[in-house]
Amino acid sequence: MLEKNIISKSAHLVSTFKKKVKMQRGRFGHRPRNDPRYYNGIYPFIQTGNIVKASSSNEMIEFTQTLNELGLSTSRLFDEKVVVITIAANIGYTAILDYPACFPDSLVALTSKDDSISLEYLNVYIRFIRDYIEKLAPQAAQKNINLKQLSKLPIIVPDMDKQKLIVSIMEKAYTEKVNKEKEAKILLNSMDEYLLQELSFDLSPAKNITLKNRIFYVDSNELTEKRFDPFYYQTHYRDFEANTYNNRFIKLGNFITSISYGASVENCYTNEGIPFLRITDLKENEINSEEIVYLPIKMEKKISSSRVQKGDILISRSGTIGVCSMVDEAHDGFAFGSFMIRFSLSDINEKFVAYFINSSIGKMYFERNKIGAVQENITIPIIKSLLVPNITREKQNSIVRHLDDIKDNATKLKQQSVKSIENGLLKIKQILLGGEL
């Protein structure tokens, strides 16, 4: 507990938010909140997601919505510099707001009641105790805390020199974190460039979407697969097709040994049973099930054909279409949901196929061939018709090794970025306990 591990051992003054921090809840009284009559004005309107994003990088709060005069009349404009904290859903995230803005009651503005606490220190201190704050929220459908709970929070109040030192430590840590993340992003982006280069594939003509080539004609004898929608026959897609329909590519269906849709299940998760993969667990080139959910054992018969094995490939069929990864040992035997398609391959490197599908070539293919008006999706025949490079197994393996190295280096950078913040928080703990760095 915070009181036992930090507060009771601190060498500095300990007070409470009630005594030291002024708290003002945001407001937006109209329902429904998405009524368009209240938006698109001159007053920035901050949402919880804007705070969470700014908190992760320690950068300025970016807003994506604005209120007009009617919106302002049902809200509240904060025109002084404040720390904004989230108190619903994502709890305890903070960022400093240094321009006039409005926000709803899921956010609270914090300022110091006296000169003993700087806003910058308050911002860092709340991040230091965020896990503790989150645990204050009751286990409900949507977690939230209130001003009464915030007012009881203990706050350590070092002298101003120590506060400045703490702030500078975290600023340095966040700068290092952001730089590591940027390096990782550059590396991951280079994977696509490398793959296109190795396959001698030029997508630049297909990306040349100008006003001139947005107006086009299609002869009736060019209509294929009974597609009559103009979207499918856009010039840049036809340029893309001309680059792929040749001897260098072969249909993926030639390598597929089995393929199936996932299980359609209701939200009936349990604490134990059959481990289940949701579409949110599927990332590009990895499966990331941080919080595993389970289906009841009684559903075994229903989902028997919707299980994955190590080496299978999973691909998202709706939502963000075409995201795919090869199943690793950790997820061998999991069931998977209906928003995904599973397939197994022979005579081709499975990981090479996954990398290829996640490349800009694969993305463009699925973007063009998706179907559905209300909810866009892809089908098994669409996957089977995907053209993959007709290259030797040796070349496939070489490409995979190089892409694995890039991905591993990017992963290390991401881990280092997380470590930067952890190290900064450890230094702060040492200061708050009265130790010397």
Identify which has the larger pLDDT, 8 or 353: 353
Spans of all domains in the chain: 2-157, 187-399
CATH superfamily label, 187-399: DNA methylase specificity domains (3.90.220.20)
Portion of the chain with pLDDT greater than 70, in percent: 91
Q: How confident is the model at residue 210 (pLDDT cuts 50, 70, 90)?
A: low
Looking up tokens 């507060």 gives 7
Give the per-residue pLDDT at 5: 67
2-157: which CATH architecture?
Alpha-Beta Complex (3.90)
Residues facing 67 on adjacent strands: 39
Compute, in degrees rounded to 10, the torsion defined by CA atoms 314, 317, 323, 324. 10
Same fold, 2-157 and 187-399: yes
3-class secondary-structure state, position 268:
coil
Tell me the residue ranges of DSSP E strands in 39-188. Answer: 39-45, 65-67, 77-78, 82-86, 94-97, 101-102, 107-112, 154-157
pTM: 0.82
Q: Which run of H or E residues covers position 4? A: helix 2-5
Give the per-residue pLDDT at 306: 93
Side-chain-facing half-sphere of 252: CA atoms under 13 Å: 25
Q: How confident is the model at residue 383 (pLDDT cuts 50, 70, 90)?
A: very high
Model confidence at 260: pLDDT above 80:
yes
The answer to whether the CB of 5 falls within 8 A of the CB of 128 is no
Average pLDDT over residues 156-164: 95
pLDDT tens digits for range 2-61: 666 677 788 899 999 999 999 999 999 888 888 999 999 999 999 999 999 999 999 999
Two tokens, residue 15: 């007070």
